[in-house]
Amino acid sequence: MAFGSLRRIERFGWASSKLEQRGRSIVRRLSTFTEVDESKKNSSHQETGKSNKSVNLFSAINQALHIALETDPRSYVFGEDVGFGGVFRCTSGLSDRFGKRRVFNTPLCEQGIVGFAIGLAAMGNRAIAEIQFADYIFPAFDQIVNEAAKFRYRSGNQFNCGGLTIRAPYGAVGHGGHYHSQSPEAFFCHVPGIKVVIPRSPQQAKGLLLSSIRDPNPVVFFEPKWLYRLAVEEVPDKDYMLPLSEAEVIREGSDITLVGWGAQLSIMEQACFDAEKDGISCELIDLKTLIPWDKETVEASVNKTGRLLVSHEAPITGGFGAEIAASIVERCFLRLEAPVARVCGLDTPFPLVFEPHYMPTKNKILDAIKSTVKY
Amino acid sequence: MAQLTHRTSSLLKPLSFALSSTRHLSSTTPITVETSLPFTGHNIEPPSRSVETTPQELIKFFRDMALMRRMEIASDSLYKAKLIRGFCHLYDGQEAVAVGMESAITRKDCIITAYRDHCLFLGRGGTLVEAFAELMGRKEGCSKGKGGSMHFYKKEGGFYGGHGIVGAQVPLGCGLAFAQKYSKDENVTFAMYGDGAANQGQLFEALNMAALWDLPAILVCENNHYGMGTAEWRAAKSPAYYKRGDYVPGLKVDGMDAFAVKQACKFAKEHALKNGPIILEMDTYRYHGHSMSDPGSTYRTRDEISGVRQERDPVERIRKLVLAHDLATEKELKDTEKEIRKEVDDAIAKAKESPLPDPSELFTNIYVKGYGVESYGADRKELRAVLP
Ligand SMILES: Cc1ncc(C[n+]2csc(CCOP(=O)(O)OP(=O)(O)O)c2C)c(N)n1
Ligand SMILES: [Mg+2]
């Protein structure tokens, strides 16, 4: 919304030096893009397709939304305050450019927002709904789980809401407290019929969001709000997509495989650097899509290293790390040289005053790396 | 009650000067004041505009509201000094709702609200120290420092808090009211929500249950005309929130007038005990932005804000009444405000002395017995579990 402005985000705590570590060092690596057919492009926005600019994560999301609306006249963006740019500025400029009929504010009613989006998508449109914080997605949980995910199946493929994408900022920010910090991804990973995607950086965010919007299945897209302003990297101006359900090895190593997603990757990467000083070579994998997930890439890596560590901010019990651990133990049992390590959030509500205790910090990861390698 | 005595006793100070001077009213002499505006009813005959009060009550209203105002201004500074972290929503501008409501009910009646909860907590007998300590996440806080700004609670005061998910507290309020009705103890619940929250589906589910079972539930819509940056009319087809209960009667109240609020709450309580739920729409205004990251000036004009301050400010309204009835001089009221300032500063100093909660508190109050887990070591990365 108009008052969101940069000010909001700064006061949100992004400027503190401790937080800066997050995101700054995030892996800047160009991955393989699916380029969108150049001949179909006509706007000035895309003619500059060759240039890359350094942008932060919220701007990358904003670019993706511009492109999505521009390339498909049947796409819509809506949610609480998105007409004013959204609390994190992800939707700024969209309603001015595409009009209030395609980019609009909704009342404060998450269940209604998602139900409405499912109906809109069922008519063959791309419905891009924003839930202001992932913590507020639960009023819409029923719509996502019972309506969106099963629409295609239960109608014998007559109907679907494949054009549905739900965007929501997730995760810790340093002091967000109980209801501005949670990582609810695991709840949605228990639901066949939807995809769950989480980007780690601006470049990833743009390409993965465009893929999610254009994917013929409903997608829940969680954005690491800690990185909205902190993570800056070169992002191609052009329209590009990154494949869903394909994990990426972002750092090669031989002693242990680390798997994570979103904001947690930069913390894990720091642990990899520190482990290296102790002579431990870590391989780091960004899962990117949580369901359906790329077991093969993880399996191949664990077959090489013989060890696995998974890390996420969500509480450890029932987290998606548990699923990864179980699947990999099943596939790589004889190759494993140590139990799968999980460094995750604690089994407590997300705390206001004890956030550093709760979080899967670099030191916790480093310790787990060492004990797994020494096992 | 005990917590309140401190405030009540200091309140006697301005009162004693009022009585010792030449003024002719005793502290309990009834005074009748007229509400600023008439009430508007929906499916109900509204109460009279004449409200009974006393010199004592007028002075108390002034003092309580000035104290709330000061607390919120001080919280703003503490937030800017980074002593308060997380999310913080201030109540200044809306004080008349808290104070007027409190004067019409007892602590056996329940209040449940959203995250804009600091002043309602004070009204229910919470202390400044508990409030500031909670804001700063300290042990002495009303929720042991575990809740923060959005999660103030006070069980003995019938204050059910302090909820973060917009609209979620309203059905809870119906549950409280059902329990009250079942135990036949003639108490009611005030379930409070904002104009933005009024559009949540839960509101309508709650209304239906409350009406179906004739619950003593009073749904209080604090209409401050914005839900974050969204003006009411952008989000609601009908911003006449007092009418939105359809089959549930409603009353529109000037929420900047503590006496109108008092009259409405008294009326609503009687109604609810006899007939079931009623909606009170309090027409009010928040001076601050939505939360601390919102300067509050991009979606409304400065003229609008200063206009409300000049013409409808709830504290100034009472100040004028006190002066008009010759209950205190302007200087005496200024002195009261000075005293309040000091009281707030002292409370902050005291709250700052309170330590952070013990780290073991991270693992308590999740289940009755807890996990029996402790964390220790650098970054608290070691966990020790004992079976509960
Ligand atoms: C379910 C849910 N959605 C969104 C939010 C984010 N949010 C917090 S307060 C708020 C505005 C609420 O406005 P209103 O009900 O008018 O209350 P006010 O802040 O004006 O007191 C929003 C959108 C939330 N806390 N919970
Ligand atoms: Mg409001």
Task: Choose, out of B144, B166, B371, the residue to mutate when testing the contact with A (most A CBs < 10 Å).
Answer: B166
Residue B368 — very low, low, confident or very high, per pLDDT cuts 50/70/90?
A: confident
Q: Read off the CATH number of the domain in which A117 is found.
A: 3.40.50.970
> pTM of this prediction?
0.90
Cα nearest neighbour of B378 on chain A:
A363
Collapsed DSSP state (helix, strand, coil) of residue A359? coil
Which are the contacts of A244, defined by CB distance < 8 A and separation ≥ 6?
A195, A197, A208, A211, A212, A215, A219, A288, A289
| Dihedral (Cα; B312, B313, B319, B325), 10-degree rounding | 20
Same structural domain, A147 and A128: yes
**pLDDT for residue B359:** 83
Residue A208 sits in the same domain as residue A260: no
CB contacts of B359 in chain A (<8 Å) are 354, 357
A4 found inside a domain: no
Dump pLDDT digits (tens) for A17-30: 343 345 444 444 33
- For chain A, how many structural domains are there in total? 2
Does residue A6 sit at the B interface (CB-CB below 8 Å)?
no
**By residue range, what is the domain housing residue A232?**
17-241
Percent of residues, chain A, with pLDDT higher than 70: 87
**One domain, residues A179 and A273:** no
Last residue of a domain, one of A219, A241, A263: A241
- The CATH number of residue A281's host domain is 3.40.50.920
Question: Is A11 inside any structural domain?
Answer: no
Q: Which of A8, A347, A354 sits opposite B294 (nearest CB)?
A: A8
Nearest residue, CB atoms, B164 vs list A139, A175, A179? A179
Residue A86 lies in a domain: yes
Q: Are residues A196 and A260 in the same domain?
A: no
Closest CA to B136 of B88, B73, B64, B69: B88
Q: Which of A241, A274, A291 is the last residue of a domain?
A: A241
* Distance from C-alpha of A78 to C-alpha of A100, rounded to nearest angstrom: 10
Please, are residues B133 and B355 in contact by the beta-carbon 8 Å criterion? no
- Using pLDDT thresholds of 50, 70 and 90, give the confidence band for residue B5: very low
> What pLDDT score does A22 carry?
53
Q: In this prediction, does ipTM exceed 0.95?
A: no
Give B382's pLDDT tier (boundaries 50, 70, 90): low
φ/ψ region of A262 (left if φ > 0, alpha if ψ in -120 to 50, else beta) reads left
Q: Which of B151, B189, B144, B153 is nearest to B171 (CA)?
A: B189
Q: What is the 3-state secondary structure (H, E, C) of chain B?
A: CHHHHHHHHHHHHHHHHHHHCCCCCCCCCCEEEECCCCCEEECCCCCCCEEEECHHHHHHHHHHHHHHHHHHHHHHHHHHCCCCCCCCCCCCCCHHHHHHHHHHCCCCCEEEECCCCHHHHHHCCCCHHHHHHHHCCCCCCCCCCCCCCCCCCECCCCEEEECCCCCCHHHHHHHHHHHHHHCCCCCCEEEEEECCHHHCHHHHHHHHHHHHCCCCEEEEEEECCEECCEEHHHHCCCCCHHHCCCCCCEEEEECCCHHHHHHHHHHHHHHHHHHCCEEEEEECCCCCCCCCCCCCCCCCCHHHHHHHHHHHCHHHHHHHHHHHCCCCCHHHHHHHHHHHHHHHHHHHHHHHHCCCCCHHHHHCCCCCCCCCEEEECHHHCEEEECCC
Q: Which residues pair with A165 in a beta bridge?
A: A128, A219
Answer for the pair A106, A80: CB distance below 8 angstroms, yes or no. yes
| A108 and A44 assigned to the same domain | yes
What does the angle CA B114 – CA B115 – CA B119 come to, to the nearest 5 degrees? Answer: 95
- Under a CB-based contact definition with an 8 Å cutoff, are residues A282 and A253 in contact? yes
Instruction: Name the minimum distance, in Å, from the CA of B274 to any CA of chain A.
Output: 32
Q: Do A109 and B196 touch (CB under 8 A)?
A: no
Rounded CA-CA distance A134/A223 in Å is: 9
What confidence score (pLDDT) does residue A5 get? 31
Q: What is the pLDDT of residue B24?
A: 57
Does A224 lie in the same domain as A89?
A: yes
Q: Are the beta carbons of B230 and A105 separated by less than 8 Å?
A: yes
d(CA B97, CA B54): 19
**Statement: residue B376 has pLDDT above 80:** no
Q: Which of B201, B297, B298 sits opposite A109 (nearest CB)?
A: B201
Among A21-35, B75-89, B236-250, the least confident range: A21-35
Does an H or E element contain A46, and which? helix A44-47
Decide if A293 is inside a domain: yes
Do A201 and A264 lie in one domain? The reply is: no
Question: Mind telling me how many Å the CA of B200 is from chain A's nearest CA?
Answer: 5
Interface test with chain B among A87, A91, A108, by most B beta carbons within 10 Å: A108
CB atoms B381 and A363 under 8 Å: yes
Whether A8 maps to a domain, the answer reads: no
Q: Name which of B235, B289, B356 is nearest A108 (Cβ-Cβ).
A: B235
C-alpha distance from residue B102 to each of A308, B79, B259, B261, B282 (Å): 59, 28, 11, 9, 14
Burial of B19 (0-12, 13-18, 19+ CB in 10 A): middle
Cα A354 to averaged position of ligand 2 atoms, centre (Å): 30
Q: Are both A97 and A215 inside the same structural domain?
A: yes
Within 8 A of A315 by CB-CB distance, chain B residues are none
Residue-wise pLDDT for A160-197, tens only, equals 999 999 999 999 999 899 999 999 999 999 999 999 99
- Shortest distance, CA A99 to any CA of chain B (angstroms): 16
Domain boundary among A241, A260, A279: A241
Question: Do A277 and A182 share a domain, yes or no?
Answer: no
Q: Assess contact for A302 and A328: CB atoms under 8 A.
A: yes
A256 lies in the same domain as A228: no
Q: A269 and A312 in one domain?
A: yes
Same domain, A203 and A87: yes
Q: Which of the ligands is closest to the CA of residue B199? A: 1
pLDDT at A140 over 60: yes
Cα of A343 to nearest chain B Cα, Å: 9
Give residue ranges with CB within 6 A of ligand 1. Answer: A 80, 108, 110, 132, 136, 139; B 116, 164-166, 194-197, 224, 226-228, 290
Q: Suggest the residue from B138, B293, B301, B360 to mutate for an interface test with chain A (most A CBs closer than 10 A).
A: B293
pLDDT at B70 over 80: yes
Positions of A marked active-site = 110, 180
Check pLDDT > 60 for residue B16.
no
With beta carbons under 8 A apart, name residues in chain B contacting A366: none
- Nearest atom in ligand 1 to the alpha carbon of residue B290 is 19
Q: Which atom of ligand 1 is nearest to the CA of A132?
A: 4
Question: Using CB atoms and an 8 Å cut-off, which of residues 53-112 of chain A contact chain B?
Answer: 80-81, 84, 87, 105-109, 111-112
Residue B232 CA: which ligand 1 atom is closest? 16
The per-residue pLDDT for B366 is 86
